A = this chain, B = another copy of it.
Amino acid sequence: MARTPKPLIRTDIAYSTPDRIVVRGKDLPNEVLGHMNLGDFAFLQLTGKAATREQSAMFNAILITLVEHGMTPSAIAARMTYAGAPESLQAAVAAGLCGLGSVFVGSMEGACRMLSEALPDAQGGAAHADLEQIARDTVAAYRARGASVPGLGHPLHKPVDPRTPRLFQLAAENGMSGAYVRLMQLIGAEAERVSGKSLPINATGAIGAICCEFGFPWRIVRGFGVMARAIGLVGHLMEEGEKPMAIEIWQRIEDEASAHLRGEA
Q: Which residues of A are in contact with B by a Cβ distance under 8 Å?
A: 7-23, 28-30, 32-34, 36-42, 45-46, 56-57, 60-61, 63-65, 67-74, 76-78, 80-105, 156-158, 160, 162-163, 165-167, 169-170, 173, 219-220, 222-228, 230-239, 241, 243, 245-250, 253-254, 256-258, 260-262, 265
**A71 — which chain B residues lie within 8 A by C-beta?**
11, 250, 253-254, 257-258
Q: Which of chain B's residues has its CB closest to A37's CB? A: B37
B222 touches A227 (CB 8 A): no
Shortest Cβ distance from residue A207 to the other chain B in the assembled complex, whole angstroms: 11
Shortest Cβ distance from residue A223 to the other chain B in the assembled complex, whole angstroms: 4
- Subset of 14 A-B contacts with CB under 8 Å: A10-B245, A10-B257, A20-B162, A29-B163, A34-B173, A36-B60, A41-B64, A71-B250, A73-B246, A77-B80, A77-B95, A88-B98, A94-B94, A227-B231
A262 touches B7 (CB 8 A): no
Please report the C-alpha to C-alpha distance between residue A112 and residue B262 in the assembled complex, in whole angstroms.
Answer: 33
Task: Given A20-B162, A33-B167, decide whether A237 and B223 contact each other with a Cβ distance below 8 A.
Answer: yes
B74 touches A45 (CB 8 A): no
Q: Is the interface of A mostly helix, strand, loop or mixed?
A: helix
Q: Which of chain B's residues has its CB closest to A254's CB? A: B71
Task: Given A8-B245, A99-B83, A238-B46, decide whether A258 and B91 contact each other with a Cβ distance below 8 A.
Answer: no
A85 touches B102 (CB 8 A): yes
B20 touches A38 (CB 8 A): no
B77 touches A101 (CB 8 A): no
Shortest Cβ distance from residue A68 to the other chain B in the assembled complex, whole angstroms: 5
Shortest Cβ distance from residue A94 to the other chain B in the assembled complex, whole angstroms: 4
Task: Given A29-B166, A73-B84, A101-B88, decide whether A95 and B93 contact each other with a Cβ distance below 8 A.
Answer: no
B101 touches A90 (CB 8 A): yes
A46 touches B234 (CB 8 A): yes
